[in-house]
């Protein structure tokens, strides 16, 4: 009889849980707003997890594997980063046991990765689990892009991270939408095709981003550009800045994007604009495949 396990992608703002069997099939799914910031402190994570299992009508003794910000310094329990040289397929051998006595032997946390390049470094938490799922699905080589609050561009070689870079794309878009001189203009549809293309065209010119962003405001106040396209233009500028920085390295290889349908569609458009082939991977299927790898280990 197959064993089942709960995999939890526990982020900063949101949390998504899956009940997975050994084949990677999702038997049940739950999503809520109980991200790290909403839990209320390190000593509240255990109760929050118990509430999640109760909401999914699962027994309290079901094994749980958690990834994401739950393992950060501000999460339930800080888990050290793995060096990027550790193959993704070895993640199951590096799970950290939760030390909370109420969950000992039942709950574990997936470590993140750190990439060091001379004096600089970059880190990820949560994306490594999706990368494991992608590798298990056969995507062992090439560029994988994980868009979001902090977008990641990751280069894999035979299932090992060769390098990765983080872009604060989603966070910057959110900040610009909520405050500052652009915020009053950001009420339009951020997926507007013409506005998005305008932003991509500007990003492709590799002009200073701060100047390009101000010119969005200048275009609106001078009536040279429609205000309803401002949000989409900013989105195109920020996503385009990622491609302007990284597309040359991916030229001839293309990219695989692991993201929600709406966001992945924008990245696919940007990839086309920058001359890159793009394949979209379903993030839920990738995550479920990753959790099944922990069951098989």
pLDDT digits (tens, 9 = 90+) for 8-38: 999 998 999 999 987 889 999 999 999 999 9
How many domains is the chain built from? 2
Query: Quick one: pLDDT band at residue 251, thresholds 50, 70, 90?
Result: confident
Residues 200, 270 contacting (CB under 8 angstroms): yes
pLDDT of residue 178: 95
Residue 84 located in a structural domain: yes
Helix intervals (H) in the chain: 36-39, 45-55, 127-136, 169-178, 193-204, 209-221, 230-250, 261-273, 283-296
Inter-CA distances, 79 with 11, 48, 76, 98, 111, Å? 15, 19, 9, 10, 6
pLDDT tens digit sequence for 59-107: 988 999 999 999 999 999 999 999 999 999 999 999 999 999 999 999 9
Residue 156 located in a structural domain: no
| Other CB atoms within 10 A of residue 173 CB | 19
Whether residue 1 is predicted with pLDDT greater than 50 in this model: the reply is no
pLDDT tens digit sequence for 113-123: 999 999 999 99
Mark whether 61 and 14 lie in a shared domain: yes
pLDDT of residue 296: 83
Mark whether 120 and 173 lie in a shared domain: no
Mark whether 176 and 130 lie in a shared domain: no
Query: Quick one: pLDDT band at residue 261, thresholds 50, 70, 90?
Result: very high
Whether residue 283 is predicted with pLDDT greater than 60 in this model: the reply is yes
Residue 184 located in a structural domain: yes
Mark whether 124 and 179 lie in a shared domain: no
Residue 143 located in a structural domain: no
Residue 19 located in a structural domain: yes
Beta-bridged to residue 121, according to DSSP, are 116
160-167/107-109 β-pairing:
unpaired
Mark whether 176 and 108 lie in a shared domain: no
Whether residue 2 is predicted with pLDDT greater than 80 in this model: the reply is no
Domain harbouring 18, CATH code: 3.30.420.300
Mark whether 111 and 40 lie in a shared domain: yes
pLDDT tens digit sequence for 164-177: 999 999 999 999 99
Residue 227 located in a structural domain: yes
Mark whether 121 and 192 lie in a shared domain: no
Mark whether 240 and 114 lie in a shared domain: no
pLDDT tens digit sequence for 264-273: 999 999 999 9
Mark whether 96 and 24 lie in a shared domain: yes
Residue 267 located in a structural domain: yes
Domain harbouring 265, CATH code: 3.30.420.310
**Domain span including residue 45:** 4-138+289-296
Mark whether 123 and 187 lie in a shared domain: no
pLDDT of residue 233: 98
pTM, to two decimals: 0.94
15-21/4-10 β-pairing:
antiparallel
Residue 252 located in a structural domain: yes
Alpha-carbon span 66 to 71, nearest angstrom: 8
**Non-local CB neighbours of 36 within 8 Å, separated by 6+ positions:** 10, 11, 12, 13, 68, 69, 70, 72, 74, 75
Beta-bridged to residue 214, according to DSSP, are none
Mark whether 8 and 134 lie in a shared domain: yes
Mark whether 8 and 129 lie in a shared domain: yes
Query: Quick one: pLDDT band at residue 230, thresholds 50, 70, 90?
Result: very high
């Amino acid at each position: 009889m197959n064993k089942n396990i709960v995999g939890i992608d526990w982020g900063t703002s949101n949390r998504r849980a899956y009940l997975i069997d050994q084949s990677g099939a999702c038997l049940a799914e739950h999503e809520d707003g109980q991200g790290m910031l909403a839990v209320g402190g390190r000593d509240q994570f255990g109760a929050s997890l118990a509430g999640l299992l109760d909401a999914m009508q699962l027994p309290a003794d079901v094994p749980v594997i958690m990834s994401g910000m739950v393992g950060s310094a501000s999460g339930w329990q800080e888990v050290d980063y793995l060096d990027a040289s550790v193959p993704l397929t070895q993640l199951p051998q590096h799970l950290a046991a939760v030390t909370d006595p109420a969950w000992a032997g039942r709950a574990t946390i997936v470590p993140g990765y750190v990439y060091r390049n001379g004096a600089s470094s970059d880190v990820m938490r949560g994306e490594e689990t999706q990368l494991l799922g992608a590798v298990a699905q056969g995507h062992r080589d090439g560029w994988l892009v994980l868009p979001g609050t902090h977008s990641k561009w990751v280069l894999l070689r035979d299932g090992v991270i060769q390098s990765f870079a983080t872009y604060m794309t989603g966070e910057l878009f959110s900040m610009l939408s909520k405050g500052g001189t652009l915020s009053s203009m950001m009420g339009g549809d951020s997926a507007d095709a013409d506005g998005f293309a305008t932003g991509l065209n500007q990003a492709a010119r590799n002009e200073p981003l701060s100047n390009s962003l101000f010119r969005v405001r200048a275009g609106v106040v001078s009536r040279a550009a429609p205000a309803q396209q401002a949000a989409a233009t900013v989105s195109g500028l920020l996503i385009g800045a990622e491609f302007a920085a990284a597309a040359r390295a991916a030229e001839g290889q293309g990219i695989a994007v692991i993201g929600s349908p709406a966001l992945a569609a924008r990245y696919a458009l940007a990839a086309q604009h920058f001359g890159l082939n793009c394949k979209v991977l379903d993030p839920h299927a990738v995550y479920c495949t990753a959790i099944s790898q922990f069951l098989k280990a």
